[in-house]
Amino acid sequence: MPHLAPARHPAPSPPHSADRWFRVHRPARPPRRRLICFPHAGGTVQLFHGWSARLPDDVEVMAVRYPGRQDRLMEPCIADMTAMADAVTEALDSQLDLPVSLFGHSMGSAIAYEVALRLERRGVRPERLYASGRAAPHRARPAGVDPDDEAGLIATVRGLGDFQAEVYDIPELRELLLPALRADYRLIETYRPPRAIPLRTPVTAYTGLDDAHCPLADVHAWSELTTADFDLRTFPGDHFFLVPHEAELVQDIAGRLH
């Protein structure tokens, strides 16, 4: 009998970068636009879990999955703003067939701004940048947090009122999540935009009126980072005002998307 060579199966292709970087919430109808959402330091895509149901049924929500946590736990964390913004922008290349808007909370606002700059340089202008819970990058002051000080870092997260801070009470989870938290704080503590570079993209800024970490004047300074429309909306609450006020915040975004 002739010798039969074993069947050759093609090696599985590596996941597309967009598959790794974005958790996609499919809309009920074919999407007409995309909302790209950036979590805060130490945060995850869970923050945006319920947003798709609150938005028009032709808006696709894509939440950014930073490496070093959840299903990217084994991937190296990124602790540098340039590397982070470059990686997200590259992953977005295949998602620009529809108009995109960018939403970021806290650290995510700064990353979203840097991504918007890179998209504009490529000739793609986002429909709008939504900056939540953060002073404008050129006005932001370092928090003075030492990312290697475990106790101080966790105390800072608790002081901000992070709704996910209780995970650090569980030793096993703390050990898993601390590397990502350290990397995020190192990224934002070392981020110094060389100058205020205005976007052509309209900007809406959101802030909690009781957020001691974001003086209102410094949040309003986002107006200096756009040559297009700017507006500021305030909500009751602290740094994580968007959790209890999710419905009102997403309703405001929905009205602007259309």
- Name 194's Cβ contacts closer than 8 Å, sequence gap at least 6: none
Helix (H) / strand (E) element for 209: namely: none
Between CA 240 and CA 105 the distance in angstroms is 9
- Evaluate the CA torsion angle 180, 96, 126, 35 in order and state its sign: negative
Q: Which two tokens stand for residue 16?
A: 């597309």
Between CA 131 and CA 16 the distance in angstroms is 28
Residues marked as catalytic: 106
Put residue 69 in one of left, alpha, beta given phi > 0 → left and psi -120 to 50 → alpha: beta
Between CA 181 and CA 151 the distance in angstroms is 12
Between CA 149 and CA 147 the distance in angstroms is 6
Q: What are phi and psi of 10, to 5 degrees?
A: -60, 140
Give the gyration radius of the chain's Cα atoms: 19
Q: Which residue, chain included where needed, has tokens 């109808």?
A: 29
